[in-house]
Amino acid sequence: MNTQIKLEVDGTDETSKIDQVEFVKPNTTGIGTFKVRLKNASGRISGLYKEGSVVKFFYDNIDASRRQFWGRVDYPKEIIGGSQFLELIGRHRSFILAETKVNYAATNADPADILRAIIDQLPDEYGFTKNNIETIGITVDVEWNYVNFWDCVIELCEKAQTDCRIDDDLDFYFHKRDTKVNNNEYIAEGINHIRTIEHGKDDFQEKTRVIAVGQDDKGLPIVYTAISSKEGVEKKEFFLRSASANTVQKVKDLAIGKLRELEVRPKQSRYISIGLETLESGQNIHVSVPRQQIFEIPRVLQVKIRFNTRGRSGGVRYETIMERELNGIPQILLESIRNERKVAIVQNSNKLNFSHNFDFNNDNLTESHSQTEVRDGLLKLSNAGFTNGRWISDVQTVNNNITQVELRYIGKDLTDSKFYFSVMNGIDGSWELFTGKELLQSPGNLGKNLKLRVDLIKTDLNPQPELDSLLCLFS
């Protein structure tokens, strides 16, 4: 291969000063990054490049005309030791998407339409385009309030099982996973494969249950736990919460969808190779390493391009990560921070698996009223002359006996009112009094069918009992 490269910084060709460079192009998980180390003998380029300087890297096997990366310098750093270097550290030119907040909501919309809509909110001068966004053919719901743009993209891709990246011309690529095979490139033993860093199935990434948490419009948590049929004594948990999951169905769908993704993980691979000048993250590529019995067409999660001028390891090298991102400590920390930013939520400190939620916006989850009614988003007595009334919920059924319950509610004038539960579908004699709000309690009966009952009681101290929102957390 006749490797040709070129490095420009603010339009100046600095190829001859390269000591080493690294450009990282991820798929979906984040914005690209780079590190460029230039030889700086006698400080000739000290102070020349600053924050905001533009870096462009070109590489191909003909004339170095194919641009591989366009980035912005965040941190220019002088390195003085045995030799003197100038190190430029930065991000892809689409970096602004990691610093832009989104306020947007949609119901039953194609993910592609949602992505187009939030791109349309960006200022025209940013220059982003939508030429390669493909319709997915499913519908999802989202609700984002001051969420980072790229966090919205990640959430959208998780829900739709899609990939997203942005090219150097700021055009979005959005498509279903495993639908873009690059037939111009390959990794083949004896041709361009240098070594396999890893290959195999790492069940560290596999989970047997996903606990999803959302929040209703009144501020109370919604909890659903999806459990794999393969789960045994050992429970491998994944916690997920979402700003847009504000109904029981949305939280349930979120948990089930994430479990499908995590309960059976594909093989993971990392390769070092040469060539691959047209490969982009999110594409699939043919890999053939007969000596290691590897024959596959995996999806590329990240492309890392390295070039240095040192000895036997010199030249352009591609490190490709297949099927998953390597979750080291920095990535785990990033996911934790991203999760915290999405929404502040009431804690489920007892780690209960499910919730039975009632927002009283309608009577959909009501079994019966006796001198009560749902009106104006409240459960209340149906006549001002009544001093008491009873409401009974519908039933929520689970696979195993319910062993723990916890009551949460929002309302006023409720200190004399009574809250009950039944794990036996409300049959006579099965109602049990909640001992208090936010107190963990074990049922005295065995059952899988949860109902709630509220006895509203009006007294001189509680003249207008009203319930805004009610839930029972349970396992």
Q: Which tokens belong to 221?
A: 């948590």
Q: Determine phi and psi for 205, rounding to 5 degrees.
A: -80, -15
Cα(395)–Cα(465) distance, integer angstroms: 24
Most confident by average pLDDT, 143-147, 205-209, 366-370: 366-370
Q: How far is CA 83 from CA 42, 44, 64, 278, in A?
A: 9, 13, 28, 35
166 φψ region: left (φ > 0), alpha (ψ -120 to 50), beta (else): beta
Q: Determine phi and psi for 389, rounding to 5 degrees.
A: -165, 160
454 φψ region: left (φ > 0), alpha (ψ -120 to 50), beta (else): beta
DSSP strand pairing (466-474 vs 378-381): antiparallel
What is the reported pTM? Answer: 0.69
Considering only residues 347 and 142, tell me which one the structure prediction assigns the higher pLDDT: 142
Q: Which percentage of the chain shows pLDDT scores above 90?
A: 69
Q: Is the pLDDT of residue 336 over 60?
A: no
Q: Which tokens belong to 146?
A: 């001051």
Q: Is the pLDDT of residue 415 over 80?
A: yes
Contact by Cβ (8 Å): 112, 133 = yes
Q: What mean pLDDT is predicted for residues 297-315?
A: 81
Residue type at 306 in one-letter notation: R
Question: Diameter of the chain by CA atoms?
Answer: 92
Residue showing tokens 């459960």: 379
Cα(9)–Cα(422) distance, integer angstroms: 70
Q: Which tokens belong to 284?
A: 């699939």
Considering only residues 283 and 238, tell me which one the structure prediction assigns the higher pLDDT: 283
Q: How far is CA 389 from CA 382, 417, 423, 464, 470, in A?
A: 8, 10, 22, 12, 16
Q: What angle do CA 18, 198, 175 make, to 5 degrees?
A: 80
pLDDT at 215: 84
The full set of domains in the chain, from first to last, is 1-93+182-201+266-324 (2.30.300.10), 97-176 (3.55.50.10), 203-263 (3.30.1920), 354-474 (2.60.120)
pLDDT at 333: 39
Q: What angle do CA 82, 83, 86 make, to 5 degrees?
A: 135
Q: Could you say which DSSP state residue 253 is in?
A: H
Q: Is the pLDDT of residue 309 over 80?
A: no
pLDDT at 343: 42
